[in-house]
Amino acid sequence: MAVPRVRPLLGDTRRTWAAMTLAACVIVVVLTGLLFKGETGPDGFDNVIDSLVIATFRAHGGFLPWFALPGTLSPAIAVSAVIAAGCLIAKRPNGAVLAVAAVPAATGLDDGLLKHLFHRTYLGALSFPSGHTTSVTAMTATLALLLLVPPQRARTRAVRAAVVAAACLITVMVVIGVVGLRWHYFTDTVAGAAVGVGTVLGLALLLDLATGAIGRSSTGPPGSPGSVQEPGLASHSSVIPAIEDR
């Protein structure tokens, strides 16, 4: 019996791009981690950016906790659940798995490995990478992957782009919040963003490999006993370009 075809998260033509971006994220985290390993204060670059943010919001400090809030646990759970529910409604189970797994995997990598490995501190607390930034960036990257990677319906392009743009704006707000509250150096947030994006891309690559393998094992070679081909599936590659954004 054939398993219904699951639309890949990336597709063959975008896996190379995703793998290269994932490698770039790993390089950013490793290099910045080694550069600031064991440090207890900002470098010159951090000092410039951090001082600017802190000075700008000194008179409006009451906003900063609200800016940082989307990077905390409860909003992350709520947003991830909404994304997962939307994916299930749209019959994209791999997207639902990505939505549920992205934030726990990314923040677990931060808290379980990277913070202890590089041991950079801010006022005595482990700060590298920024967990708040990792969490919100993972959610933003998940939304971008699900809503912007073709094929998509052209008539919903504006709405999808607006949702991702709003998520990017919230990510910037979280960065301002955690820097302004003196929880993190700016370079902590850069590494946090790299962890978030890299984790989402890594999970997407794994999920595409898994769904592809499941599909091949369940259907078997074309024409083999027990294999079932959905109507129009043979021309799938010719249909996709017609429904991609133009």
The DSSP-derived string for 14-67 is HHHHHHHHHHHHHHHHHHHHHHTTT--S--HHHHHHHHHHHHHTGGGGGGHHHH
Q: State the average pLDDT over residues 105-132.
A: 96
Express as a percent the part of the chain with pLDDT over 70: 85
Cα 38 to Cα 35, 68, 109, 195, 203: the distances in Å are 9, 25, 18, 19, 30
Q: State the average pLDDT over residues 44-64.
A: 93
The domains of the chain are located at 12-207
Express as a percent the part of the chain with pLDDT over 90: 76
Beta-bridged to residue 125, according to DSSP, are 122
Quote the mean pLDDT of the chain: 88
Per-residue model confidence as pLDDT tens digits over 198-244:
999 999 999 999 887 776 665 555 555 544 444 443 334 333 343 34
For residue 153, the model assigns a pLDDT of 87
Residue 107 has pLDDT above 60, yes or no: yes
Which stretch, 3-7, 132-136, 213-217, 234-238, has highest mean pLDDT?
132-136
Identify the sign of the CA torsion 153, 154, 160, 161.
positive
157-180 and 186-219 helices, crossing angle to 10°: 140
